[in-house]
C-alpha cells in the first residue's frame, strides 16, 4: 500500500510540473534548467547561488501559473524638448560653472599665424597615425610628431641665421 501511495504522489508531482500554462513555459524551462544544474556537482558558493536562483525562478513560475502578477510601474514618457529648448539646455550646461562640462579639453597649437601654416605644410603624418587603434601605435605617432617638431624648429632657426 505504501509503495502505491508513494508512486501515486510521485506521478502526481511529475504531471503537475508538466501541466504548465503555455505563457509560463519559458519560466518552467528556466526552473528545470536550474534544477538540472543543481543535480550536477558543485561547490558551496555555487550551491548557494543556484539555490537562490531556483527560489526566484520557482516563485516567478508559481506566480505565472496562478495568474499572479506584480503591479508593474507605469513609466511616464518624458516630453521631448523642441529644438530651441534642447539648444537652450545644452548652452546652459556649457556656460554653467558647476555643470557637467566644467573640465573641458582645450586644444591649442604650439604655433600661431604664418608659423602654424608653415608647420602644417611641413608635418607629414604617417598613414598608420590616421586613426591609431593600439597604444603602441599611438605612442609611435606622438614620438614621430615630436621628432618632426624638433626638426621643424631647427630648420626655422637655421633659416633665421
Give yes or no for a contact between 73 and 30, defined as CB atoms under 8 angstroms apart: no
Q: Of 8, 9, 31, whose CA–CA distance to 20 is shortest?
A: 31
pLDDT at residue 2 is higher than 80: no
Q: Angle CA(160)–CA(148)–CA(127) in degrees, nearest 5?
A: 140
pLDDT higher than threshold 70 for residue 57: yes
Note the pLDDT of residue 110: 81
Query: From CA 39, how far away is CA 43, in angstroms rounded?
Result: 12
Cell numbers standing for residue 29? 524551462
CA dihedral 44→50→54→56, nearest 10 degrees, is 100
Average pLDDT, the chain: 77
Amino acid at each position: 500500500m505504501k509503495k502505491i501511495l508513494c508512486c501515486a504522489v510521485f506521478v502526481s508531482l511529475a504531471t503537475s510540473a508538466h501541466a504548465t500554462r503555455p505563457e509560463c513555459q519559458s519560466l518552467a524551462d528556466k526552473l528545470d534548467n536550474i534544477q538540472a544544474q543543481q543535480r550536477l556537482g558543485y561547490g558551496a558558493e555555487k550551491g548557494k547561488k543556484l539555490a537562490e536562483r531556483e527560489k526566484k525562478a520557482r516563485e516567478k513560475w508559481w506566480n505565472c501559473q496562478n495568474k499572479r502578477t506584480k503591479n508593474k510601474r507605469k513609466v511616464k514618457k518624458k516630453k521631448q524638448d523642441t529644438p530651441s529648448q534642447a539648444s537652450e539646455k545644452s548652452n546652459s550646461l556649457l556656460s554653467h560653472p558647476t555643470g557637467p562640462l566644467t573640465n573641458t579639453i582645450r586644444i591649442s597649437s604650439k604655433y600661431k599665424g604664418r608659423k602654424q601654416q608653415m608647420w602644417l605644410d611641413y608635418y607629414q603624418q604617417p598613414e598608420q597615425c590616421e586613426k591609431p587603434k593600439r597604444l603602441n601605435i599611438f605612442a609611435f605617432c606622438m614620438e614621430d610628431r615630436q621628432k618632426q617638431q624638433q626638426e621643424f624648429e631647427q630648420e626655422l632657426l637655421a633659416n633665421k641665421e
